[in-house]
Structure 1
């Protein structure tokens, strides 16, 4: 049995296009992207890094509520989203707000989500997504259901969902990938392996050598990719999408990535469970630095271009937080009204009570 397990685990090599110096190491996996598309992808990564920095500052100022830092995971998050089409459906976890923004969620609504305002959870018309899921792994079951609905309606689109390495220990994770596998639903399941489920290292989450191999039990494709390499992430997601819409079933993608900051801004201290050596090791793999080197070598990127993106991000973030500040404060009655399509009797009574209080 041991030899059989080793044979399975050895099947999951880590796909990579760019090394840490921005050099192409796998021509076969190199995606077909135009120069403009490559620059757009870099623009989004730089913008998202600035958004993360400003969001952390806003959180510390008390102007945002719940916030999960994203720095270090830009290639994993944006490489997967960049491979999608507008009609595809995103079911994010709480760290995956950047994918929603680039899929069409206005920035000010992302800030309202952080504050717990109901409007931050209302997707605009044409933005196919659910609001970020707080319950670990629950989005995997929802994605299996959304994908099944797409298949029944004959749509050529996919449902993509995300969780961290810790999420693979949840029952919902297995139920979701098993259901989608049994019915060959057009789903893409992304596991962003940033090595720590809050403070628990991945080695204590599972005895498996890879998380991608968990796909085997569900009878679906499993892929492990360098999650700090945006081109490799894009390439494997693009292929997974093509397989899904062609009726070949779902794919589980494990992206090997790293979050530079704390798990969330709610008091987590990563220095208690991560070493400086480990942080330094992963900082050398920074997805933005790597992609920048690649684009500069092709003559497609410059310091001036990057500074323009940074300034634009700062201005748009400033405008978005101002717009969020200008939204009417959420009322208790609005919270109750948004809980159910048809309110049960006891909440109907509470709703009337709060409306009476709020009108005074």
Structure 2
């Protein structure tokens, strides 16, 4: 079974909705391709990708629809990503950190989906590819979704009006002029080594615009949610940064749970304790860089970094910029 690439039913629903809205017999067509007919109830279940793509192509061809992948992508929003991925993104301090997590957890959406970041001059490409599907026809239907979801993720940090300067497809496919008119400031490329959109490097350090990270329903025997633990630690840890953060054992004792249970709770949100400490250090440093005139070396020591070089490396890993570049970029705002 591991050799069958799967996708969440959520990504099949828009194609079925389009077909259904036309008044066509959607259930019969789904059944023809051995796909579930009750998709709404199974949004987080998985189905094979290949018959799903064939279903989308059959809808486009039989109903004379242009660019059905684009039409379907317009029906999907950030909230349609898997719950775990939304939680992970919601706890990412910067766009760069979120994109790194998305690349790690992409198989939550499609089991054979791989994503990575490529630097190209002053932009970063958010690349995606379905492993094992090279040469298959009609992949543009899926690639529209692969490109639109990163757009929704970037907008969580840059605002709802952001659009990429380029949308590229791995398939030899060019959207119609009508479709391109929806993206007047975007160029389209086809036949690329992967599907990708680009984002300017200056936007990688954008902070998360979410006022409150999404809740996580995961709980174990002590009924304390991981979200509550993370929120508490983010309030507490800044007090310890300049003297050394408590160990994971000490934190677990404070919370009244085992180390294993504590680590499992953090893992459910794509975090580790050391990673959480790094995030708290970064957020404290970013706030001081934005709001004060403190010397960068003083910011480094006050946030628990051993030396300025370590501070610069750690800060760049999360934000994509050096502390000085970050201050120059955000202080005027």
Same fold per TM (> 0.5)? no
TM-score under structure 2 length normalisation: 0.30
Higher Cα radius of gyration: 2
Q: Which has the higher contact order (CA 8 A, sep 6+)?
A: 1
Q: TM-score by structure 1 length?
A: 0.28
